[in-house]
């Protein structure tokens, strides 16, 4: 057991070794993308989605943009984490009295197990983009909780355990549109209803232009002996619009508002056709990981070009060594 990742082993984790001669610390699955156009009868594109190991197999909450162009969340299940059975109907959210509590739109879900409960965060209509929060214990009944953060905000991501007795959430204050700015902040809560003790975690900008316009937390942070491993997206602005890449940081275990290391360069950027051509070109947008603590293997699930679901791989010790020796914290 390597014990770098503080977590459980996942022997059935999908894995491919790094191709010979590749310098990069993150490499793509050779059969990408795993989900393409028109994945369900009413769905046009499934991307920016969250997956989790569950009862020997895998479950997911998928962002599906429908043919009316509105995004909603759909439940999915898989035996191998590659071939996904996506529910044609969106999740039937209820309130805590069991009454229907539908979302008007919902996108970019993250999924996390905290103690014995599974929580989903997403970008919700308040009205206006805000952080929606829901829970399930069985992936059959999905209950909406109070929205965590008021408008305008996106990229709400819960840590997988309480820190010093408090729930912790990362988010990215934004505007009501396509937001040309944004830093990652952190908020604490005793009860997942009232949030406060806000802290600034990481700024965009700086001289590393790939993350100059805005940044946002990606998958649920991974607890490691070296700190919380955070994969995040960084955005640059070009003549043809935004380009979304992926970076990584290590946050202090006890005080995750403290950035220990942060990659100077991106570790994944749109290069492949499924990343550079699609509904929104030039987007890689990580939303989930599957982890095997035994081997330190990490499978990263990311949305590509707001069209496809794709997978990339990395190994935790290699990635941490890379972050530490290529770090620039600002
Ligand atoms: C962001 C979010 C993401 C999307 C990205 C690129 O604002 O809406 O869902 O992947 O834009 O279009």
Residue identifier of the C-alpha nearest atom 11 of ligand 1:
178
Largest pairwise CA distance in the chain: 57
Residue identifier of the C-alpha nearest atom 10 of ligand 1:
306
Q: What is the Å distance from ligand 1's center to 155 Cα?
A: 10
Strand partners, 78: 58
Structure confidence by residue, pLDDT tens digits, 284-298: 999 999 999 999 999
Query: What does the pLDDT read at residue 233?
Result: 98
Q: What is the Å distance from ligand 1's center to 167 Cα?
A: 26
Residue identifier of the C-alpha nearest atom 12 of ligand 1:
280
CA distance 133 to 171: 12
Q: What is the Å distance from ligand 1's center to 178 Cα?
A: 8
Q: How confident is the model at residue 2 (pLDDT cuts 50, 70, 90)?
A: low
Q: What percentage of the chain has pLDDT greater than the value 90?
A: 99
Please state the atom number of ligand 1 nearest to the C-alpha of residue 303.
Answer: 10
Look-up of token digits 């929580």: 119
Please state the atom number of ligand 1 nearest to the C-alpha of residue 179.
Answer: 7
Average pLDDT over residues 66-82: 98
Q: What is the Å distance from ligand 1's center to 200 Cα?
A: 22
Burial of 99 (0-12, 13-18, 19+ CB in 10 A): exposed
Best mutation site among 181, 244, 276, 303 for ligand 1, i.e. most ligand atoms within 8 A of its Cβ?
Answer: 244
Q: What percentage of the chain has pLDDT greater than the value 70?
A: 99
Report the Cα 319 to chain-centroid distance in Å: 17
Three-state DSSP at 170 gives strand
Pocket lining for ligand 1, CB < 6 angstroms: 48, 107-108, 178, 244, 280, 283, 285, 303, 306
CA distance 228 to 256: 7
Q: How confident is the model at residue 156 (pLDDT cuts 50, 70, 90)?
A: very high
What one-character-per-residue DSSP string does 17-72 give? PPPTT---SSEE-TT--SB-S--SSSEEEEEEEEEEEETTEEEEEEEEEETTS-EE
Cα distances (Å, whole numbers) of residue 274 to 237, 268, 289, 306: 20, 14, 20, 10
Task: Give the containing element (helix H, strand E) for 100.
Answer: none
Q: How confident is the model at residue 146 (pLDDT cuts 50, 70, 90)?
A: very high
Query: What does the pLDDT read at residue 106?
Result: 98
Query: What does the pLDDT read at residue 49?
Result: 98
Q: What is the Å distance from ligand 1's center to 10 Cα?
A: 30
Strand partners, 223: 228
Query: What does the pLDDT read at residue 3?
Result: 87
Residue identifier of the C-alpha nearest atom 3 of ligand 1:
108
Q: What is the Å distance from ligand 1's center to 51 Cα?
A: 18
Average pLDDT over residues 25-35: 98
Structure confidence by residue, pLDDT tens digits, 235-256: 999 999 999 999 999 999 999 9
Residue identifier of the C-alpha nearest atom 1 of ligand 1:
178
CB 157 within 8 A of CB 167: no
Q: What is the Å distance from ligand 1's center to 32 Cα?
A: 20
Please state the atom number of ligand 1 nearest to the C-alpha of residue 285.
Answer: 10
CA distance 271 to 132: 32
What one-character-per-residue DSSP string does 179-224 give? -S---EEEEEESSSSSEEEEEEEE---SS-GGGSSEEEE-SPPEEE
CA–CA–CA angle 149, 114, 283 (5° rounding): 60
Please state the atom number of ligand 1 nearest to the C-alpha of residue 279.
Answer: 12
% helix / strand / coil in the chain, to the nearest 5? 5, 50, 45
Asked whether the CA dihedral 251, 255, 260, 263 is positive or negative, the reply is positive
Best mutation site among 237, 274, 283, 310 for ligand 1, i.e. most ligand atoms within 8 A of its Cβ?
Answer: 283
CA distance 170 to 200: 10
Nearest to 154 by CA among 138, 132, 130: 130
Q: How confident is the model at residue 115 (pLDDT cuts 50, 70, 90)?
A: very high
CA distance 61 to 93: 13
């Amino acid at each position: 057991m390597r014990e770098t990742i503080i977590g459980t082993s996942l022997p059935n984790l999908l894995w491919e070794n790094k191709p010979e001669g590749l310098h990069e610390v993150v490499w793509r699955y050779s059969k990408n993308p795993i989900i393409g156009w028109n994945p369900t009868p009413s769905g046009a594109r499934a991307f920016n989605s969250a997956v989790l190991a569950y009862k020997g197999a895998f479950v997911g909450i998928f962002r599906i943009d429908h043919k009316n162009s509105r995004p909603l969340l759909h439940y999915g299940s898989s035996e191998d984490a590659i071939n996904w059975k996506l529910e044609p109907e969106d999740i039937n959210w209820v309130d805590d009295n069991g009454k229907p509590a539908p979302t008007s739109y919902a996108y970019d879900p993250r999924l996390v197990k905290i103690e014995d409960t599974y929580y989903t965060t997403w970008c919700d209509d308040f009205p206006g983009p805000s952080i929606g929060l829901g829970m399930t214990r069985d992936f059959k009944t999905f209950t909406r909780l109070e929205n965590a953060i008021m408008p305008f905000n996106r990229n709400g991501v819960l840590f997988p355990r309480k820190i010093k007795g408090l729930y912790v959430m990362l988010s990215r204050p934004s505007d009501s549109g396509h937001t040309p700015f944004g830093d990652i902040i952190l908020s604490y809560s005793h009860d997942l209803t009232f949030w406060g003790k806000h802290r600034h975690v990481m700024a965009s900008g700086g001289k590393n232009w790939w993350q100059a316009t805005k940044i946002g937390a990606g998958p649920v942070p991974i607890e490691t002996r070296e700190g919380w491993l955070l994969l995040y997206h960084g955005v640059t602005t070009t003549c043809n619009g935004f380009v979304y890449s992926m970076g990584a940081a290590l946050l202090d275990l006890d005080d995750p508002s403290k950035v220990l290391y942060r990659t100077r360069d991106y570790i994944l950027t749109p290069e492949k056709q499924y990343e550079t051509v699609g509904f929104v070109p030039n987007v890689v947008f990580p939303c989930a990981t599957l982890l095997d603590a035994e081997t330190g293997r990490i499978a990263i699930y990311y949305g590509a070009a707001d069209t496809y679901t794709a997978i990339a791989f990395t190994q935790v010790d290699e990635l941490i060594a890379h972050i530490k020796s290529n770090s620039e914290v600002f």
